[in-house]
Amino acid sequence: VSLHPGPVFSSRPARTADRRIAVVTALVMAALLVIVGQLWYLQVLEGGRFLDASDKNRTRVRPVAAPRGILFDRHGRPLVDNRPAFTLSLIPRELDRDPVRRDAVLGRVASLLRIPYEELVHAAERASPESFQPVRIRRGLGLEDVAKVEEWRLELPGVIVEVEPQRAYPTSRFAAHLLGYVREATDEQLRQGRYRRGDMVGQTGLERLLDEYLRGRDGGEQIEVDVIGRPVRLIRNTEPQPGAQVVTTLDRRIQEAAERAFEGHAGAVVVMDPRSGDVLAMVSSPAFEIDRFTGTIDRASWLAIVQDPKHPLLNRTIQSQYAPGSVFKIVIAAAGLQEGKLAPMDRVFCSGEFQLGGRTFKDWKEGGHGSVDLYRAMVQSCNIYFYQAGLKIGAETIGRYARAFGFGDTTGIELSGEKPGLIPGPKRDRRGRLIWHAGETVNMSIGQGQVLVTPMQVARFMSGIANGGVLWKPRLVQRIERPERGVLWSDPGKVTGHFDLSPVVQEFLRRSLWGAVNAGGTGGGARIPGFDVAGKTGTAQSISKSRADKGQDHAWFASFAPANDPEVVVVVLSEGGGKGGRVAAPIARKIYETIFLERVAAIEIGG
Amino acid sequence: MSLKIDRRLLQNVDWALLATATVLVGFSAATLLTLNPGRAGSSVAFRQLAWFGVGLLALVLVASVDYRRLVRFAPFFYLLGLAGLAAIFVVGKTVSGARRWIGVGVFSVQPSEIFKVAFVLMLVWLLCSRWAQPISVWTLFWILPVVLIPAGLIVKQPDLGTAVLLFPVLILLLVGSGIRLRLLGMIAGLVAAAMPVGWLLLKGYQRERILVYLDPLRDPLGSAYNVIQAKIAIGSGQLLGKGVGGATQSRLAFLPERHTDFIFAVFAEMWGFVGCLVLLAGYAFLLLRGFDIAASSRDPVGRLVALGVTGLLATQVLVNVGMVTGLLPVVGIPLPLMSYGGSSMLMSLAALGLLLSVRMRQFQ
């Protein structure tokens, strides 16, 4: 092999080589044109799409939760508040893509904050790995835990601590059933598509009813990040819009007084303004700790509350039905007088027993009340008188009056799950025979048997007695407003029914109810000297008669005050409390004493 | 032959070619400068310009020596290059899984880049030898190890792109040196038959890259990530580009290898379709000029040298831009004169030096 290049291409003319070079040149230029074509496709034809993709690449939206609207009482005192709380969240897109390293990060979080590791893995896998939407792990993180996460921040990619506004309550059980609790959207709610995962949603009470208004609109920070997710700059900031403010009909002072007075009892208290149907206080006991739901509640605690045999989640003012007991005697008296079946002067001798069809119906008082007229029968709550009165009036008429007074049907209160109660009546079977016994009429006359009412129905009925026959829809919300936009919604109050009792009958009822409290009657426990409380006690046998427990009787006290110009209706029901006069009436008295503090004090000083 | 510069030689210097190359390097430095604002960017741009200066010296050196003399010494350069490639396995530096560099003082040299020019000269030397003409199967048989040995060494680094690059250059030189087209067809058939064997020899990630090229959605977060990000960068530049500040794909580092192999995507994002046309026009001019030098050389050796060098540059430009725009699989090949890197710059300018040399001596 010679190192010197010799004369070559002797067999091939140079022109062939020239042609070949020209072809090669053409091929290379053609290839460049193909590239230009591809650039035209990418940049001009599909450019917009790629521009979107590049924006999506670099921008992240960091949601900023809107504070929920505040609920106020009728005098502008807040019933709930918001305070900033720390939430531990995962950003799926920023977690390590390598499952081993990701799990190492989650393991570190688990050991730092003592959160079950499986819970973290489950949460991380629940969301799409491309999602920037934070997955909330723990709400209401303590400062110590926040410090730990911040300290390890560089070792914990994809783990963040967010600051979110969270509900704060004056006391943990305050008006729990009325307000309702706020909790992360459930799977069911997510399926309905109105909420995103992690949204805080009102689940019961007013929080649920008014969720649409209270939730506000979440804001967000649109930030530009680099390839490893480090924020580079803020592009746009949308301020969160806080929820609307709700002015309720509640009076925080009365609510607190009612809760204090009812402490240790199970049952319900309703305080209502008979002139408008405004609910001033609504107590259901036992209550639940409303703030336990706000943070992330673990499954065991949740089950403990749901499966509690005392049913703390039940709003007993509207969701529990009870026999009204002697409170129902007001219905009998009103029906009898109005229909002319009873005359105030008629007397009945009460021996303590009443025979009907071989059955013996007893009075609550051993030995009876002796000779009583309607007034004394109301004051002393004499069963024997009302047995006979009921038979005279008849079950159908009693039923008609009871329904006119709003029993046997829902009150129309906006809270969900309201029970209608039950007013039984004579029915005929297919062959036209009555399925009704006189004994049932007798039981009905003292509010026993199948009669069922809710405390809210009793409060509305007592308001009707107090205000001359108007049945108001119990009002909970006066108005919803936004500081910048004014009133969004308001409830002027709604009359749902009306009953006509002659003034004489009304006056008689008022006087006898006053007498029951102030003239040595069964309601003496509610008496405030110098201040006129009118009311009727009741002692209702609970439905579960099978239990031998004598203490199962429910204690009722339905009342209004002042007797001559009623401003407030107070209904107390103590489950298993025993005698209405002994248990329920004193609770009502304590509530009245708070409501009419100034007047009562003035009377005491003056007297 | 002497190093004395002849006046006639100077008259034939292709200033347009040099000017185009300088403009392209200017684009490179500007792109590098804007990619990282502040000192880091200016440092990278400055080093690129410094390499350009060193490369210009090499260019002058190469151009001032008669290319025929260089071809005569080609086996020496070739063996030196092979030694460099082999040395990688002894003293090479590993950067992101590949041993491609050798430390020389404060610099790192990429022997496979330098080798490319020696390879062209070596092939020219072989094809112009008396025994090689006319090109027969025997010629090919003897040439094959000259190609396969370095290709094997380069694949082992691993640097599939550069290794693959050697074959188009070989074919181009065979075509230029008068191979019968029937024989060329036979070779093509053989290569097609050998492909499945080659597939077995490829590394896992190399196979993956080819598969991803065939189906970009195969693994959007693994190998295809580069292609997808590059396409987003290029496409989002649209007609007129996003300008320096708006080039988020590049500046926020979504684009990988943006200083080196993917620098075209950075340029495309900043200056759009119009900018790309200008850039590609620059390369087109460079290549047309190279082919013209080959065609207008009366000397068969000069013709082959120019053809080989231009083919080398053309293949790199087409493969690089083709891969960045998603037309070809991702193989690590720098864009001559644009991509950041000293070895690549030296190689490109030495290649241009050879072109100038052939042009200067075309009438001799």
Closest residue of B to A52, CA-based?
B236
H helical segments located in chain B: 7-11, 15-35, 39-64, 67-72, 74-91, 111-127, 137-156, 160-176, 181-201, 204-214, 224-236, 248-251, 263-296, 300-324, 342-360
Q: What is the mean pLDDT of residues A540-569?
A: 78
Does the pLDDT value for residue A466 go beyond 90? yes
- Is A35 within 8 Å of B221 when comparing Cβ atoms? no
Q: CB–CB of A218/A64 below 8 Å?
A: yes
Supply φ then ψ for residue B301, to 5 degrees.
-65, -45
Supply φ then ψ for residue A316, to 5 degrees.
-70, -15
A44 reaches B (C-beta below 8 A): yes
Give the pLDDT confidence score for residue A503 in this predicted structure. 93
- Is B238 within 8 Å of A43 when comparing Cβ atoms? yes
Supply φ then ψ for residue B28, to 5 degrees.
-60, -50
Does the pLDDT value for residue B145 go beyond 60? yes
A vs B, Cβ pairs < 8 A, gives 162
Taking the CA of residue A120 and the nearest CA in chain B, the distance in Å comes to 24
A191 class by beta-carbon count within 10 Å (0-12 exposed, 13-18 middle, 19+ buried): exposed
Q: With contacts defined as CB-CB under 8 Å, which chain A residues touch B307?
A: 21, 24
Type of residue at B355: L
- Taking only the tens place, the pLDDT of each residue in A251-289 is 999 999 999 999 999 999 999 999 999 999 999 999 988
> Average per-residue pLDDT in chain A?
87
Taking the CA of residue A185 and the nearest CA in chain B, the distance in Å comes to 32
Give the pLDDT confidence score for residue A304 in this predicted structure. 86
Low-confidence winner among A34-43, A108-117, A291-300, B158-167 (lowest mean pLDDT):
A291-300
Does the pLDDT value for residue A9 go beyond 50? no
- Taking only the tens place, the pLDDT of each residue in B5-17 is 567 777 788 899 9
Q: Among B238, B270, B313, B317, which would you mutate to test the A interface (most chain A Cβ atoms within 10 Å of its Cβ)? A: B238
DSSP string for residues in B287-304: HHHHHHHHHH-SSHHHHH
User: Could you tell me which residues are beta bridge partners of residue B108?
Assistant: B103
Q: What is the mean pLDDT of residues A577-601?
A: 89
Q: Distance between CA atoms of A25 and B313, rounded to whole angstroms?
A: 12
Angle formed at CA A149 by CA A148 and CA A153, multiple of 5 degrees: 125
Cβ-Cβ contacts under 8 Å for B56 (sequence gap 6 or more): B349
Give the three-class secondary structure for A348: strand
- Taking only the tens place, the pLDDT of each residue in B220-253 is 445 567 788 888 889 888 888 888 777 777 777 7
Instruction: Quickly state the pLDDT bin for B212 (edges 50, 70, 90).
Output: low
Q: With contacts defined as CB-CB under 8 Å, which chain B residues touch A25?
A: 287-288, 291, 295
Of A24, A42, A57, the CB nearest to B172: A24
Does the pLDDT value for residue A185 go beyond 50? yes
Low-confidence winner among A108-112, A313-317, A333-337, B102-106 (lowest mean pLDDT):
B102-106
Give the pLDDT confidence score for residue A545 in this predicted structure. 45
Q: What is the mean pLDDT of residues B113-141?
A: 86
Structure tokens at A216: 């506000």
Q: Distance between CA atoms of A467 and A345, rounded to whole angstroms?
A: 26
Give the pLDDT confidence score for residue A526 in this predicted structure. 93
- Taking only the tens place, the pLDDT of each residue in A483-518 is 888 898 999 989 999 999 999 999 999 999 999 999
Q: Give helix B181-201 / helix B137-156 axis angle, nearest 10°.
A: 30
Give the pLDDT confidence score for residue B4 in this predicted structure. 57
A75 against B255, higher pLDDT:
A75
Share of residues in chain A with pLDDT > 70 (%): 94
Q: CB–CB of B229/B254 below 8 Å?
A: yes
Radius of gyration over every alpha carbon of chain B, rounded to an integer in angstroms: 20
Structure tokens at B137: 């199967």
- Taking only the tens place, the pLDDT of each residue in B303-312 is 999 999 999 9
Give the pLDDT confidence score for residue A1 in this predicted structure. 39
Place of tokens 């006129």: A532
Give the pLDDT confidence score for residue A607 in this predicted structure. 53
Residue A130, CA distances (Å) to A11, A60, B80, B137 in order = 66, 11, 51, 57
Does the pLDDT value for residue A116 go beyond 70? yes
Q: What is the mean pLDDT of residues A226-254?
A: 83
Q: With contacts defined as CB-CB under 8 Å, which chain A residues touch B249?
A: 54, 57-58
Low-confidence winner among A358-362, A463-467, B193-197 (lowest mean pLDDT):
B193-197
- Is A43 within 8 Å of B307 when comparing Cβ atoms? no
Instruction: Quickly state the pLDDT bin for A154 (edges 50, 70, 90).
Output: confident
A30 reaches B (C-beta below 8 A): no
Give the pLDDT confidence score for residue A8 in this predicted structure. 46
Instruction: Quickly state the pLDDT bin for A233 (edges 50, 70, 90).
Output: confident
Instruction: Quickly state the pLDDT bin for A542 (edges 50, 70, 90).
Output: low
Q: With contacts defined as CB-CB under 8 Å, which chain A residues touch B68?
A: 5
Q: Distance between CA atoms of B313 and B20, rounded to whole angstroms?
A: 14
Max alpha carbon distance in chain A (Å)? 151
Taking the CA of residue B162 and the nearest CA in chain A, the distance in Å comes to 19
Of B134, B254, B272, the CB nearest to A227: B254
- Taking only the tens place, the pLDDT of each residue in A283-319 is 999 998 888 877 666 778 888 888 888 899 999 999 9
> Average per-residue pLDDT in chain B?
84
Q: Tell me what ipTM this predicted complex has.
A: 0.90
Does the pLDDT value for residue A399 go beyond 90? yes
Q: What is the mean pLDDT of residues B162-185?
A: 87
Instruction: Quickly state the pLDDT bin for A602 (edges 50, 70, 90).
Output: confident
B273 reaches A (C-beta below 8 A): yes
A5 reaches B (C-beta below 8 A): yes
Q: With contacts defined as CB-CB under 8 Å, which chain B residues touch A46?
A: 235
Does the pLDDT value for residue B190 go beyond 90? no
Does the pLDDT value for residue A372 go beyond 70? yes
A579 against A59, higher pLDDT:
A579
- Is B325 within 8 Å of A39 when comparing Cβ atoms? yes
Q: With contacts defined as CB-CB under 8 Å, which chain B residues touch A42?
A: 231, 234-235, 325-326
Q: Distance between CA atoms of A119 and A137, rounded to whole angstroms?
A: 8
A64 against A477, higher pLDDT:
A477
Q: What is the mean pLDDT of residues A161-189?
A: 87
Query: How much of chain A is in helix, strand and coil states, percent to nearest 5?
Result: 40, 25, 35
